[in-house]
Amino acid sequence: MANSLVQFRTDDTSKIKASVICERLGIDLPTYMRMCISRLIQENGIPFSMKLETGSESRALKAMKTASRIAEENGVSDMTLDEINAEIAEARK
């Protein structure tokens, strides 16, 4: 499939603010724009909301910290990937 270049203009401040938000979400601005176009087509409209928490930590970060704490409490925080995969394989038997 051929690729097309899509360009538009925005003020520098908006671009910087948008880039910072994307970075905090773990993506870059071009990836966000591709996501928007893809979902717009799939849903035939504007389908989603991605917002950062206004507090100091996002829900995702809080969830990761909680998961880490629980893993530590259960003595599994230092498991290797091979050990984790072995546990999963054993549980599936």
- Digit-by-digit pLDDT tens for the chain (93 residues) are 788 999 999 999 999 999 999 999 999 999 999 998 998 899 888 787 767 666 666 677 788 888 888 888 888 888 888 888 898 889 998
pLDDT of 53 reads 63
- Per-residue tokens: 7: 């360009």
Tally the residues of the chain.
93
Q: Tell me the C-alpha distance between 69 and 57, whole Å.
A: 16
pTM over 0.75: no
- Per-residue tokens: 56: 């100091």
Question: How do the domains of the chain map onto residue ranges?
Answer: 9-52, 55-93
Q: Tell me the C-alpha distance between 29 and 16, whole Å.
A: 10
